[in-house]
Amino acid sequence: MLLRLDPAVHDALARWASDELRSANAQIEFLLRKALAEAGRLPRSAAPIPRRGRPPRAPHPPEPDPSEG
């Protein structure tokens, strides 16, 4: 989708996105979803924004119980 923005608005958006460790595209989606939710217009069918970045660490397997050995 092509989005035409004033260059100063785009620069401000890109800086804001960088401050929040998002891409400009992710920042636009975040802000649009927030505005839609505040207006009561976010569709219930809208999937949540996927988490970005490093996946969470897998839990370690339980240590063997020495009394069972």
Q: Per residue in 1-59, pLDDT tens?
A: 899 999 999 999 999 999 999 999 999 999 999 999 999 999 999 998 877 777 778 88
**Structure confidence at residue 62 (pLDDT):** 76
Residue 27, domain extent:
1-43
**Structure confidence at residue 5 (pLDDT):** 95
Q: What pTM value is reported for the model?
A: 0.69
Yes or no: say if 27 and 10 are a contact pair by the CB < 8 Å rule.
no
Q: Does some domain include residue 14?
A: yes
The CATH number that applies at residue 30 is 1.10.1220
Total residue count of the chain as it appears in this document = 69
Q: Does some domain include residue 54?
A: no
> What is the Cα–Cα distance from 35 to 17, expressed in whole angstroms?
16
Q: Does some domain include residue 53?
A: no
Q: Does some domain include residue 25?
A: yes
The total number of structural domains that make up the chain: 1
**Structure confidence at residue 39 (pLDDT):** 97
